[in-house]
């Protein structure tokens, strides 16, 4: 494998309904990422920085990376905002890795941030909707839960026991969230509770949905050759893939697959030169439970419909053969939009260095991060390996 860059530090706020405003959240995540670098590095060592944020609620919707610059850079280094809806974080990580590869900076910061809970429900719905297709979805009244509900209906009609598998995704990820002190939800939810919960967009109920959360995450990237200057245990980026698809789901060939995820996954595996069987655990974009099943299929871990049996067999639990979302996923950890893709890499950084505490996957060496924008219009995939 050719190492492309390495993660040498990572920081994270709690996710949830938080009193802190956006600047304080960003500061906590960035301070945490810099403080976690074993042999130390301060703000003045950073050469470039990227900020993933949707600007939910209209918060600093223009020039938001200047806020990051104020937090990190007395020297005024270049900072860029990356916005690709819920995949903003994954695409910002990709930009950060590419900046390192181009040799533009020795150390690059990638931060993700969203403040979502300070709005009334109607405004939340508006700001969630802006990343869907405007003409055919948002203005027609279709919400994101509605789009994923359509996808889930089709999937449940096609594959026996699919509704139970959706409930298992929710129950597993809530269970995983109880072991993550940063998670929005830290309570167990049984499969029966998921099935009995109030409907949000049939067949999806309350526990099939990710929540609306505040939070931030940050990582520090170094070039592969200089990584050991900062730590003895860097986490190397081995493969990157990114792709897009038609924005409106009605324009796609099929409802129950995301071609952007498939293309991004294939590109990441081709770049890393490894097989699916080498991956020890996955961080996938489970904004709704159906999305976790689609991810397993789109990323090539199982054939179409195969995610039902895999999930019901317990294989995706932390003790199974392919753990998925050990941190609770978007479902239980929360989904502060711009922070999510960066938070997935935070989890991988902890896990591959053996520092994930009660949720540690034993001997994890290789992991995949998968971040989706909207209902599959954009996707970013990255593969990581222990140094
Ligand atoms: N999962 C589990 N519990 C949830 C929850 C979720 N997603 N959302 C809210 N709750 C809980 C709350 O903690 C609260 O519990 P409490 O009564 O014990 O305090 C209760 O349910 C009611 O919370 P409330 O905030 O009033 O819920 P809501 O009805 O306003 O919102 C959803 C629920 C599912 C509509 C909202 O979480 C949502 O829109 N999620 C999807 C976000 C989204 O689309 N993101 C982009 C993805 S592409």
pLDDT digits (tens, 9 = 90+) for 79-122: 999 999 999 999 999 999 999 999 989 899 999 999 999 999 99
Please tell me which residue in 174, 184, 285, 335 is annotated as part of the active site.
335
H runs (alpha helix) in the chain: 22-35, 65-72, 88-101, 121-129, 144-158, 162-177, 191-196, 259-272, 289-298, 306-312, 329-333, 340-352
C-alpha to C-alpha distance for 91 and 373, rounded to whole angstroms: 10
- pLDDT of 1 above 60: no
> Average pLDDT, whole number, for the chain?
96
Asked, colleague to colleague, whether 5-119+213-234 and 141-210+236-386 share their fold, the answer is yes
Identify the pLDDT of residue 75: 72
The Å distance, Cα 74 to ligand 1 centre, comes to 39
The Å distance, Cα 206 to ligand 1 centre, comes to 6
* Contact residues for 117 (Cβ-Cβ < 8 A; gap 6+): 17, 18, 212, 213, 214
Ligand 1 atom nearest residue 335's Cα: 45
DSSP class per residue in 138-170? ITTT--HHHHHHHHHHHHHHHSTTHHHHHHHHH
Tell me whether residue 370 is one of the annotated catalytic residues: no
The Å distance, Cα 286 to ligand 1 centre, comes to 15
The Å distance, Cα 263 to ligand 1 centre, comes to 31
Residues with CB under 6 A from ligand 1: 86, 121, 128, 144-145, 185, 200, 206-207, 209-212, 287, 335
- Beta strand pairing call for 281-283 and 378-386: unpaired
Identify the pLDDT of residue 89: 98
CATH fold group of domain 141-210+236-386: Peroxisomal Thiolase; Chain A, domain 1 (3.40.47)
Taking only the tens place, the pLDDT of each residue in 34-86 is 999 999 998 889 999 999 999 999 999 999 999 998 888 767 899 999 999 99
Taking only the tens place, the pLDDT of each residue in 303-334 is 999 999 999 999 999 999 999 999 999 999 99
Tell me whether residue 184 is one of the annotated catalytic residues: no
Among protein residues, the one whose CA lies closest to atom 7 of ligand 1: 211
Q: Where are the domains of the chain?
A: 5-119+213-234, 141-210+236-386
Q: For ligand 1, pick from 149, 195, 209 the residue to mutate: most ligand atoms within 8 Å of CB.
A: 209
The residue-averaged pLDDT of 123-135 equals 93
Identify the pLDDT of residue 4: 85
Identify the pLDDT of residue 72: 84
Identify the pLDDT of residue 73: 72
pTM of the model: 0.98
Identify the pLDDT of residue 200: 98
Predicted confidence band at 2 (pLDDT cuts at 50, 70, 90)? low
C-alpha to C-alpha distance for 113 and 315, rounded to whole angstroms: 32
Taking only the tens place, the pLDDT of each residue in 344-376 is 999 999 999 999 999 999 999 999 999 999 999
Ligand 1 atom nearest residue 198's Cα: 29
C-alpha to C-alpha distance for 312 and 291, rounded to whole angstroms: 16
Identify the pLDDT of residue 131: 93
Identify the pLDDT of residue 18: 98
The Å distance, Cα 131 to ligand 1 centre, comes to 19
CATH fold group of domain 5-119+213-234: Peroxisomal Thiolase; Chain A, domain 1 (3.40.47)
C-alpha to C-alpha distance for 226 and 229, rounded to whole angstroms: 6
Among protein residues, the one whose CA lies closest to atom 31 of ligand 1: 211
**Taking a C-beta distance cutoff of 8 angstroms, is the pair 189, 207 a contact?**
yes
- pLDDT of 238 above 70: yes
Please tell me which residue in 12, 86, 210, 285 is annotated as part of the active site.
86
- pLDDT of 184 above 70: yes
Identify the pLDDT of residue 104: 87
């Amino acid at each position: 494998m050719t190492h492309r860059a390495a993660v040498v530090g990572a920081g994270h706020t709690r996710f949830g309904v938080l009193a802190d405003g956006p600047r304080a959240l960003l500061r906590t995540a960035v301070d945490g990422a810099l403080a976690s670098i074993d042999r130390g590095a301060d703000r003045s060592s950073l050469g470039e920085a990227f900020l993933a944020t949707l600007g939910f609620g209209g918060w600093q919707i223009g020039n938001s990376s200047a806020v990051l610059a104020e937090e990190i850079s007395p020297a005024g280094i270049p900072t860029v905002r990356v916005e690709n809806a819920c995949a903003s974080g994954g695409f910002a990580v990709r930009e950060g890795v590419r900046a390192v590869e181009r040799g533009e900076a020795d150390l690059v910061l990638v931060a993700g941030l969203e403040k979502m809970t300070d709005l009334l429900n109607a405004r939340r719905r508006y700001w969630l909707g802006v990343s869907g297709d405007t003409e055919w979805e948002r203005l027609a009244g279709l919400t994101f839960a509605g789009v994923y509900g359509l996808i889930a209906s089709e999937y449940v009609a096609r594959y026996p026991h699919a509704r139970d598998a959706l409930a298992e995704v929710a129950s597993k990820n809530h269970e995983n969230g109880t072991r993550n002190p940063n998670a929005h939800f830290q309570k167990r939810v049984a499969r029966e509770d998921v099935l009995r919960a109030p409907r949000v967009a049939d067949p999806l109920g309350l526990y099939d949905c990710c929540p609306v959360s505040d939070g931030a995450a940050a990582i520090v990237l170094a070039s592969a050759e200089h990584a050991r200057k900062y730590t003895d245990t860097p986490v190397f980026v081995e493969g990157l893939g990114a792709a897009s698809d038609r924005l409106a789901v009605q324009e796609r060939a099929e409802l129950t697959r995301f071609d952007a995820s498939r293309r991004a996954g294939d590109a990441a595996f081709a770049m890393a030169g490894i097989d699916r069987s080498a991956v020890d655990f996955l961080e996938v974009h489970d904004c709704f439970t159906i999305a976790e099943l689609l991810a397993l299929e789109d990323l090539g871990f199982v054939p179409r419909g195969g995610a039902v049996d895999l999930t019901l067999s317990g294989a995706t639990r932390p003790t199974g053969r392919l753990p998925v979302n050990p941190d609770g996923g978007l479902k239980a950890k929360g989904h502060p939009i711009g922070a999510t893709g960066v938070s997935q890499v935070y989890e991988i950084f902890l896990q591959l260095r053996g520092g994930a505490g009660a949720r540690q996957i034993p001997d994890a060496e290789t992991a995949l991060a998968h971040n989706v924008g909207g209902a599959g219009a954009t996707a970013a995939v990255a593969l990581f390996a222990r140094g």
